[in-house]
Structure 1
Amino acid sequence: MAGNTFVYDGDCSFCTSCAEFIERRIPSRARVIPWQFADLDALGLTLEQVETAVQWVGEDGTVAAGPDAIALLLRDAGRMWELPGRALQLKPVGWLTWPAYHWVADHRHLLPGGTAACSLPQAQRDKLYGPSTSR
Structure 2
Amino acid sequence: MASQPILLFDGDCGFCSRTIEKVRRIVQPGVQFVPWQYADLAALGVTEARADREVLWIGPVDGEVYGGPRALSAVLMCGRRRWRWLGLALRVPPVNWLAGGVYRVVAKNRHRLPGGTATCSLPAHMRGEPDC
Residue 10 to residue 132, structure 1, CA distance change in 2 (3 Å): farther
Secondary structure at the counterpart of residue 66 of structure 2: strand
TM-score (norm 1): 0.90
Match of 2:75 among 73, 76, 82: 73
Q: Which residue of 2 aligns with 1:26?
A: 27
- Pairs within 5 Å for 1:79-94: 79-94=81-96
Is structure 2 residue 4 aligned with structure 1 residue 41?
no
Q: Give 1:18 shift.
A: 0.8
Unaligned runs of 5+ in 2: none
The residue that corresponds to 1:131 in the other structure is 130
- TM-score normalised over the length of structure 2: 0.91
Verify the 8 A CA contact 2:68 2:103 in the aligned structure 1: yes
Aligned residues: 130
DSSP 3-state at the match of 1:77: coil
Identity %: 42
What are the ranges of 5 or more consecutive residues in structure 1 without an aligned counterpart? none
CA offsets per residue over residues 48-102 of structure 1, 9 Å max, x none? 2201100000113221000000000000114011000000011211111111111
Q: Which runs of 4+ in 1 moved over 2 A?
A: 130-133
Q: Secondary structure at the match of 1:91?
A: coil
What is residue 13 of structure 1 aligned with on the other side? 14
Correspondence 1:90-109 to 2 at 5 A: 90-109=92-111
Alignment root-mean-square deviation, CA: 1.4
Distance 1:23 1:41 in 2: 26
Query: Is this contact kept in 1: 2:27–2:80, CA < 8 A?
Result: no
Cα distance in 2 between the residues matched to 1:94 and 1:33: 25
Higher helix share: 1
Query: 1:122 aligns to what?
Result: 124
